[in-house]
Structure 1
Amino acid sequence: MNAHSAATETALAYFHAWSGHDVDKAMAYIADDIVCESPGGRIEGADAYRAFLEPFVGIVTGTRMLAAFGDERTALVMYDTSTLPVTSAPAAELVTVRDGVITNSRIIFDRLPFPPPPQ
């Protein structure tokens, strides 16, 4: 595992985009056919992923990267976010990267303090 692998660089660029409240830039790192497994359920496709990401980015008040590492195809990032509902919401995200975009994501976080996902 390497902190400077291709997948890790993509995962970090994505993290810095959404944590900087730039959803359009973050979505540039998301594949059209992304599949995401989250505590709120399975999300398929870029439009559904954007509908998941945008409300979250809107309540983020701060972020702190805790760790990031990976290989050429996968990366794991762990970060802590401050949000309007909670001051500390740690999360881990395992992503698969193909051709510079995230094709799969598995996000682990405590969903309880957050609003329910869109139906």
Structure 2
Amino acid sequence: MTENTSPALDIALAYHRAWTGKDFERAMTYVAEDIVCAAPPGLIEGAEAFRGFMGPFTQILTGSTLIAAFGDAETALLMYDTETVPVASAPGAEHLTVRNGKITHLRIIFDRAPFDAARAARSAS
């Protein structure tokens, strides 16, 4: 993993360590009340809506490997691979904007294909 420290990267990594470490409540302390999150299911606005989106994922998470992390004063980019109950490898990336120590904007990109395949396999059996 490549890691360069910066104010936004410090917050992004703390957030990432918290949610991947099964401390979602701590992760939420880094999230602004008015967060805007662009994710594959669509636009998610506000901390409570974000909690409803991200919380269930953290419940099926069994592991995570941070591949790379970069940042500057207000933005950070993380790339990682996650292991979940239904899927052994689910790569993802996050672009985060941080202002006043809180994540105000988050764009999440992840490969849905492994989850779709796992659902199809469960349906077939």
Q: Using structure 2 for the length normalisation, give the TM-score.
A: 0.88
Q: Distance in 1 between matches of 2:18 and 2:111?
A: 22
Q: Which structure has the larger Rg over C-alpha atoms?
A: 2
Please list, as runs of the form range in 1=range in 2, the aligned pairs for 1:1-119 lying within 5 A after superposition: 3-112=4-113, 113=115
Contact 1:39 1:110 in 2 (8 A): no
Q: Deviations over 1:42-96 (max 9, x none)?
A: 1000000000111000000000000000100000000100001110001000000
Higher helix share: 2
Pairs aligned (count): 114
Q: Sequence identity, in percent?
A: 56
Q: Secondary structure at the match of 2:97?
A: strand
Counterparts of 1:13 and 1:63, CA distance in 2: 14
Q: Name the Cα RMSD after superposition.
A: 1.3
Distance in 2 between residues matched to 1:91 and 1:82, nearest whole Å: 11
| Kept after mapping to 2: 8 A contact 1:38/1:107 | yes
- Partners of 2:24 and 2:71 in 1: how far apart? 24
* Cα offsets for 1:5-60 (capped at 9, x unmatched): 00000000000000011111000000000000000111000000000111000000
- Where 1:10 maps in the other structure, the secondary structure is helix
- Amino acid in the other structure paired with 2:104: T
Calculate the TM-score normalised by the size of structure 1.
Answer: 0.92
Structure 2: stretches of 5+ with no match in the other structure: 120-125
Q: Give the structure 1 partner of residue 123 of structure 2.
A: none
